[in-house]
Chains A and B, each alone.
Chain A
Amino acid sequence: MSIISTGRQGERYLLMGNEAIARGALEAGVSVIAGYPGTPSSEIIETLAAVSRDHNLYVEWSVNEKVAMEVTAAASFAGLRSLCVMKQNGVNVGSDFLLHLALTGTRGGMVLVHCDDPGALSSANEGESRHFARMLELPLLEPGDFQEACDMVKWAFELSEQIHNVVMVRSVTRLSHASGNVVFGELPDGAKKAYFKHGGFILDPLEGPMASLPAPYRHQQQQEKLKTVVAGFEKSPFNTYTGPEAPELLVITSSACNLYCKEAIHLLGVENRVGLLKLGTTWPLPPRLMEKHLRRTDKVLIVEEVIAFLEENVKILAAELAAKVGAKTFFGKREGNIPAFNEMTPDLAVAALAEILDIDYQPVTQAYAERSKELGSSGAPGRDLTFCAGCPHRASFWTLHNVLQMDGRDGFVCGDIGCYSMAVLPTGFNTLKTLHSMGSGVGLANGFGQLGRFGMDQPVLAAVGDSTFFHAVLPGLINAVHHQSDITVVVLDNSGTAMTGFQPHPGLPVDAGGNEAPAIDIARVCEAMGAVTRIGDPFDIDNTRRTLLELLEIKGLKVFVLKQMCALSPEKKAKKMYAVTVDENMCLGQSCGCNQLCTRVFKCPGLNWDKEKRVSKIDDVICAGCGVCASICPSGAIQRKEVA
């Protein structure tokens, strides 16, 4: 049983940021939780799913983020507290609904936790979601440490019920995927009854129908709610100031940057010169509170990640308050003290402070810095991202790449979001030629597939994962059938949402809580649409190649479902299908016509080149026993034997 559930009130526990968020929701008495997996947000739902039976929660991995928002909004309309969870891109997906929801408002507390990924540590972009708060006119909270991650989520539900609207809580990778100590609060008890009141007057926000019309009226109501929000933010304990009464420099920050600024002030020993204003309520900013702190000094540094969101909002208030607080010299992104791309670090905060305060800071001597850099860069070869040993994607892209070479018409594959995105890199033989958002591979292929009439004769393919297929690919496929786009869609079905940790999706017979669920068969869906559909096993290199070559000759929409479970899936991990060995007498290595095809091109991490013996060898610690390398070895030196 999870500590989230068994931990005692008043005790301190070490929790991952995402677990702290989950605990906060539990302490708030949440009933319905929905989201779509995405790093760094996924553990919030996983943590709550694991305790769903003990706390009578409904937890779902929705098909996509828009549906997740709709599912959680329905719970709110029926008077329950609900939590919606996603990574930054998900807010884009759900934003159409959210724009309307912001107008109709909510009933039971509804909190949207959105986790940004500055530095794109596990993303294809570092676009951020704070701007939605301003655009949709919803309150925004940003926890600045782990305790706040728990407490702020809990308070967000109260705020949501106070204003009858969605409250946004933004986390980032360095909070969600970091761990810290959290003291637990009380868990509520008592059953809740869901009931949707809809019989009241159309403009009655609590008993009437939930509709965004008439929009200007609702919009004005929504803006009235923000006034209540601001009044609460003025006295929020989540906004804290540490430092002298009248510092030389005021640092304004939020989120994980709070921890970096604290570290930087400590490292430079400038506690007496610098004041730190940590804001937890970042939109709309409370003007009285800002006035109080802006009066402290005339030099202000704003520290935040990626785009200047906080900086711009502070500057607007400073301009409005100029008569009261005086003119300020601002430091931050526009002045170039803080970069507007990539994630922040304590060292970047140190550098900004040291420059502004004219302090010479060197973490180690010049000599050590140079020598360690020399040894580190020459002695530690870089590690390019690679598909795991035994990954079905390596086998799939091996065949896709080779088939396109054989076909000879310069065909290409449009990519999508998942582990297989890495096929833009050498580990997937650079097979993917486009990579954008979820579902965009098939969408782009739709367009390319219409360009035959303009003389384009290159075969057009798209590769999508099984979870992505349900999330955003279906409309693109329907579009392709209806408009007779000439494309081949390869579904890389590895039985789970692998990149984010094997969350179930609608193609699997199980739901987020581990309950049995009806599975939707991808191939049958495609057949029903009228696509020419084939199913294959990517580890069967010969048959996969034959089928692909056949499909490239057919006009219209073709779907090839390549089914093979992810090598890291709990069912498969540490279980080898084959014992793989190299017959050293048969391996010709560099003398072979292949010139080390297995290690030079196929490059599975389970293979190694023995420099002394000049033959390939298997690294038993890493080899997952898929046996695919035995299929690609031209001299038959790599051999596999089924493991009983």
Chain B
Amino acid sequence: MTNTSLPHDPYNVIITGVGGQGNVMASRVVGQMMSRRGLRVTIGETFGASQRGGSVMSHLRISKESYWSPQIPKGKCHLVLSLEPTEALRVLMNYGNPSVSVICNTRPIHAIGVISGDQQYPALDDIKRWVAELSEACWFLDATAKAMELGNPILGNIMMIGAAAGIGALPIDREGFAAVISTTLSADKRDVNLQAYDLGVGMVQ
């Protein structure tokens, strides 16, 4: 993949998860990485309810020439980065198609309906099978567990970015990541974020 080549134009990415997982931060980092390469980027975010246990999504549109709607049209997503297993299914229901790729964190976050016993959370193996059925390619990684080894579960979001680089789905690399976080994160946080990025790359290779 050359520096700015995109498999589709616009290339559509959804980063999804539950409020508080660092979804918005991840989308901005990826957006900045693309923007630095001279690509046109539009990001649509759902937040407000985002830290209140709701499902959250960021839609990224990446294009060489033009800007696009901050909402991806139904069925037109190319890559899903899901920080929570069932959220991948929720995204595929609306934006999936047979040629979509999915990278999915395997750590569940139970909705209050599940905590209270009113709803059932599916078995992880079932979720994996369903995601595989609805996508062309999928990767599952326990990013949260690895992130906790680094000292903070929120670093799972950075691992997902590393994983996206690892599968070659986006024109992003470590150098671009380092450059973006050098302007957005305080110095003491950069090393651990780079470690998380590297672990993410490793988990899909």
Q: Which residues of chain A have a CB within 8 Å of any CB of chain B?
A: 12-14, 39-40, 121-122, 145-146, 174-175, 177-181, 256, 259-260, 262-264, 267, 345-347, 350, 363-365, 368-369, 371-373, 375-377, 379-388, 419, 422, 426-427, 499, 568, 574, 596, 599-601, 603-605, 607-609, 619, 621-622
Bound-complex Cα distance A242 to B28 (A): 30
- Judge whether B71 and A346 touch: CB under 8 Å: yes
Contacts known (A12-B35, A14-B32, A379-B127); A179 close to B68, Cβ less than 8 A: no
Beyond A180-B67, A385-B49, A621-B153, list 7 extra A-B contacts (CB 8 Å): A122-B47, A145-B67, A179-B70, A181-B41, A364-B74, A364-B97, A376-B92
- Judge whether A422 and B69 touch: CB under 8 Å: no
A121 touches which of B43, B48, B86, B113 (Cβ 8 Å): B48
Contacts known (A179-B31, A373-B93, A381-B120); A387 close to B98, Cβ less than 8 A: no
Residue ID in chain B nearest A387 by CB atoms: B52
- Judge whether A122 and B48 touch: CB under 8 Å: yes
B29-42 near A? 1/0 per residue, CB < 8 Å: 00110010000111
A383 touches which of B92, B98, B111 (Cβ 8 Å): B111
Residues on the A chain within 8 Å of B153, using CB: 621
Q: Whole-angstrom distance from the CB of A303 to the nearest CB of chain B?
A: 12
- Judge whether A13 and B35 touch: CB under 8 Å: yes
Bound-complex Cα distance A347 to B112 (A): 31
- Judge whether A122 and B49 touch: CB under 8 Å: yes
- Judge whether B89 and A603 touch: CB under 8 Å: no
Q: Whole-angstrom distance from the CB of B33 to the nearest CB of chain A?
A: 10
Which of A121, A499, A621 gathers the greatest number of chain B CB atoms within 10 Å?
A621
Residues on the B chain within 8 Å of A387, using CB: 52-53
- Judge whether B51 and A568 touch: CB under 8 Å: yes
Bound-complex Cα distance A596 to B40 (A): 52
B93 touches which of A346, A350, A372, A574 (Cβ 8 Å): A372
Residue ID in chain A nearest B90 by CB atoms: A380
Bound-complex Cα distance A385 to B20 (A): 13
Contacts known (A13-B35, A382-B119, A603-B115); A388 close to B52, Cβ less than 8 A: yes
- Judge whether B113 and A372 touch: CB under 8 Å: no
Residue ID in chain A nearest B66 by CB atoms: A262
Bound-complex Cα distance A615 to B88 (A): 29
Contacts known (A381-B86, A388-B52); A364 close to B75, Cβ less than 8 A: yes
Bound-complex Cα distance A375 to B133 (A): 10
Q: Whole-angstrom distance from the CB of A429 to the nearest CB of chain B?
A: 12
Q: Whole-angstrom distance from the CB of B116 to the nearest CB of chain A?
A: 5
- Judge whether A379 and B42 touch: CB under 8 Å: no
- Judge whether A372 and B68 touch: CB under 8 Å: no
8 A–B pairs (Cβ distance < 8 Å), ordered by A? A121-B48, A174-B71, A177-B45, A363-B75, A379-B122, A380-B89, A381-B113, A388-B51
Q: Whole-angstrom distance from the CB of A294 to the nearest CB of chain B?
A: 26
B42 touches which of A13, A40, A179 (Cβ 8 Å): A179
Q: Whole-angstrom distance from the CB of A230 to the nearest CB of chain B?
A: 29
B53 touches which of A259, A262, A388 (Cβ 8 Å): A388
Bound-complex Cα distance A22 to B93 (A): 37
Bound-complex Cα distance A181 to B66 (A): 10
Residues on the A chain within 8 Å of B49, using CB: 121-122, 385
Bound-complex Cα distance A361 to B86 (A): 28
Residues on the A chain within 8 Å of B74, using CB: 347, 363-364
B133-154 near A? 1/0 per residue, CB < 8 Å: 1100000000010001000110
Residue ID in chain B nearest A120 by CB atoms: B48
Q: Whole-angstrom distance from the CB of B29 to the nearest CB of chain A?
A: 11
- Judge whether A605 and B51 touch: CB under 8 Å: no
B48-92 near A? 1/0 per residue, CB < 8 Å: 110111110000000000011111111110000000001101101
Contacts known (A363-B97, A621-B144); A600 close to B20, Cβ less than 8 A: no
Residues on the A chain within 8 Å of B107, using CB: 621
- Judge whether A383 and B93 touch: CB under 8 Å: no
Residue ID in chain A nearest B120 by CB atoms: A381
Residue ID in chain B nearest A39 by CB atoms: B48
Within B108-126, the residues touching A (CB, 8 Å) are 109-117, 119-122, 126
Which of B86, B111, B115, B120 gathers the greatest number of chain A CB atoms within 10 Å?
B115
- Judge whether A605 and B53 touch: CB under 8 Å: yes
Residues on the A chain within 8 Å of B48, using CB: 39-40, 121-122, 177, 499
Residues on the A chain within 8 Å of B148, using CB: 621
- Judge whether A180 and B115 touch: CB under 8 Å: no
- Judge whether B42 and A600 touch: CB under 8 Å: no
Residues on the B chain within 8 Å of A371, using CB: 133-134
Residues on the B chain within 8 Å of A600, using CB: 116-117
B154-167 near A? 1/0 per residue, CB < 8 Å: 00000000000000
- Judge whether A368 and B53 touch: CB under 8 Å: no
Interface residue? B18 (CB, 8 A): yes
Contacts known (A179-B43, A621-B144); A379 close to B112, Cβ less than 8 A: no
- Judge whether A376 and B93 touch: CB under 8 Å: yes
Contacts known (A180-B41, A388-B52); A259 close to B93, Cβ less than 8 A: no
Residues on the B chain within 8 Å of A373, using CB: 93
Bound-complex Cα distance A111 to B23 (A): 33
Residue ID in chain A nearest B18 by CB atoms: A383
Bound-complex Cα distance A314 to B31 (A): 37
Bound-complex Cα distance A111 to B74 (A): 37
Residue ID in chain B nearest A621 by CB atoms: B153
- Judge whether A267 and B73 touch: CB under 8 Å: yes
Contacts known (A13-B35, A177-B47, A386-B53); A375 close to B117, Cβ less than 8 A: no
Residues on the B chain within 8 Å of A380, using CB: 86-87, 89-90, 93
Residue ID in chain A nearest B27 by CB atoms: A179
- Judge whether B35 and A350 touch: CB under 8 Å: no
Interface residue? B44 (CB, 8 A): yes
- Judge whether B97 and A368 touch: CB under 8 Å: yes
Bound-complex Cα distance A381 to B97 (A): 21
Interface residue? B22 (CB, 8 A): no
Interface residue? B96 (CB, 8 A): yes
Q: Whole-angstrom distance from the CB of B31 to the nearest CB of chain A?
A: 5
Bound-complex Cα distance A568 to B19 (A): 12
Contacts known (A263-B69, A345-B71); A422 close to B90, Cβ less than 8 A: no
Contacts known (A368-B96, A422-B52); A388 close to B20, Cβ less than 8 A: yes
- Judge whether B71 and A372 touch: CB under 8 Å: no
Q: Whole-angstrom distance from the CB of A376 to the nearest CB of chain B?
A: 3
- Judge whether B52 and A386 touch: CB under 8 Å: yes
Interface residue? B46 (CB, 8 A): yes
B52 touches which of A180, A379, A385 (Cβ 8 Å): A385
Contacts known (A371-B133, A419-B52, A603-B112); A178 close to B73, Cβ less than 8 A: no
Q: Whole-angstrom distance from the CB of B17 to the nearest CB of chain A?
A: 11
Interface residue? B4 (CB, 8 A): no
Bound-complex Cα distance A599 to B148 (A): 25
Bound-complex Cα distance A260 to B71 (A): 8
Q: Whole-angstrom distance from the CB of B127 to the nearest CB of chain A?
A: 6
- Judge whether A263 and B52 touch: CB under 8 Å: no
Residues on the B chain within 8 Å of A603, using CB: 112, 115-116
Bound-complex Cα distance A174 to B59 (A): 11
- Judge whether B52 and A382 touch: CB under 8 Å: no
Instruction: Sort A-B residue pairs by CB-CB distance and give the 3 closest, nearest first.
Output: A376-B93, A122-B48, A363-B75
Contacts known (A346-B69, A375-B89, A380-B93); A599 close to B115, Cβ less than 8 A: yes
Residues on the B chain within 8 Å of A175, using CB: 70
Residue ID in chain A nearest B48 by CB atoms: A122
